[in-house]
Amino acid sequence: MALPHPKLLPPVFFPPRNRPTQPSPILPLPGNPALRHLKHESFSQLQASAKDESLSTVITELEEQGDHSSQTAEDDLLPRNRQPEHRLSERWREIHGLGDWAGLLDPMDPLLRSELIRYGELAQACYDAFDYDRFSRHCGSCKYNHRHFFSNLGMPDAGYEITRYIYATSSFKIPNFFASSRRPRTWSDRANWIGYVAVSSDKGSARLGRRDIVVAWRGTVTRLEWIADLMDYLRPVAAAGIPCRDSGVKVESGFLELYTGKDPGCLFCKFSAREQVLAEVRKQVELYKNSGEEVSVTMTGHSLGSALAMLSAYDVAETGVSGGSPVCVFSFSGPRVGNGKWKERFEVGVKALRVVNVHDSVPKVPGIFFNERVPEAVRRMAESLPWSYSHVGVELALDHKLSPFLKETGDPSCYHNLEAHLHLLDGYHGRGQRFVLASGRDPALVNKACDFLEDHHLVPPFWRQDENKGMIRAADGRWVQPDRPKIDDHSQDTHHHLRLIGLLRDH
């Protein structure tokens, strides 16, 4: 599968928020690459039901406004955005964090922006493929077989092939994360699908300049009650079996339990999420390194998925499963994970770039009072407390109030929404710079699972829906839920790779 090459379209200037505005629909254009997020059925209906003249987007209209009203301000941005893009294959180590992204964030490097959006879309796919329907016998699983995952999501050119699904179980009750069916007979009583491991295809690797192993983690959906329910106290990583000689290296206990918890009686959770990831990453690293290829390991996740991405990246580096390959995390709206000593140890072997919305509450917890922002002396004194946390890596702070598309709202789940973060990335050029869409990514995607776009754009909130909520008409005329192919469980060589890592347990 070919990996889509990010197109840097001419920038679109947006006048200030208080400009007079006419209602302007922003239905997706048929040729817009962002439509890879739409199901094919929905797209065909859209083509059949809308006339060409009604499909002009607000992007086009505001581009015309900018040409007439603010050409001088727009010209300030044209030279940088219209420069030829350097090949990713030549710069991938820099984009992957070799220099801690020094000089790439302000002003924003166009290639880094496109890569951040791409990895964010791989994380977003975890939401789009998850079965939340409590009336479905498959609630809590992935809707699609891993062989057809990206094509079923309208992303046939993702450039990756999924090699393994990841499942998790937990004794914690996490609202809007662990979903369970109301049916008496279900695929699993304890497990939830939590993400996937994917490897770049041959064509994708040629563009990337290396074989990229991606681990994408699912986060929570909308409500944020999990913050209080899951976050409790710091616990040494060594207590959960993660290698670390320093008992002072601690992470949040709820994240750790979710990452390492397992149920020997469950087909899908007889291995912990940790064991599933380590076995698969080791397998793929060994396969491609033995073939003489350069390999990278990239973790991505949003919200709670960001915390799991941080934990797994640390684990992959600390156990040596990466085989010396660079390990990087592209995190979106993630909470703090561990204490100051965790930060120090984490940054020895892992690079992390955290994308946050400054108005989002999740990146501010846990550790509201004792964190990386307090004076060093105070942080050192509070290090022994169970509520002292530190963010890791480099932060890229965005502000949703700078986008003319997004409305003022008191709903914190909108500030936290992943599609909103990707929209903000698309328009970000640096601190103090105007909001200018760089890739033509459709702003309508913001309202897929929230109500954050200005009403005058006429994009309905929560518009992404399965046709007929997954119901089909059977031969006898009744409406039923269709049977699904066998749900992917664990590959038979998992024991082999865990034994080589030294993590073999009786399952």
Catalytic residues: 303, 360, 416
CA distance 137 to 139: 6
- Please name the residue that has the structure tokens 């912990």: 272
CA distance 95 to 115: 8
CA distance 168 to 258: 7
Measured between alpha carbons, how far is residue 339 from residues 360, 386, 397, 436 in Å? 21, 9, 21, 37
Q: CA-CA-CA-CA torsion for 128, 134, 136, 140, nearest 10 degrees? A: 50
Q: DSSP letters of 60-122?
A: HHHHHHHHHH-HHHHHTTHHHHTSPPPPHHHHHHHHTTTTTTTTTBTTBPHHHHHHHHHHHHH
228: which DSSP letter?
Answer: H
User: Do residues 107 and 83 touch, judged by C-beta distance below 8 A?
Assistant: no
CA distance 312 to 217: 10
2: which DSSP letter?
Answer: P
Q: Strands 211-217, 295-302: parallel, antiparallel or unpaired by DSSP?
A: parallel
CA distance 59 to 437: 8
User: Do residues 314 and 239 touch, judged by C-beta distance below 8 A?
Assistant: no
Q: Which residues are within 8 A (CB) of 6 and not within 5 positions of it... i.e. 6 or more apart?
A: 85, 111, 114, 115, 117, 118, 439
**195: which strand partners?**
166, 217
Neighbours of 50 (CB within 10 A): 14
CA distance 466 to 152: 12
CA distance 143 to 466: 11
SS3 256: helix
Q: Which long-range contacts (CB under 8 A, 24 or more apart) does 69-77 make?
A: 69/15, 70/13, 70/15, 73/13, 73/434, 74/11, 74/13, 74/436, 77/11, 77/13, 77/429, 77/433, 77/434, 77/436
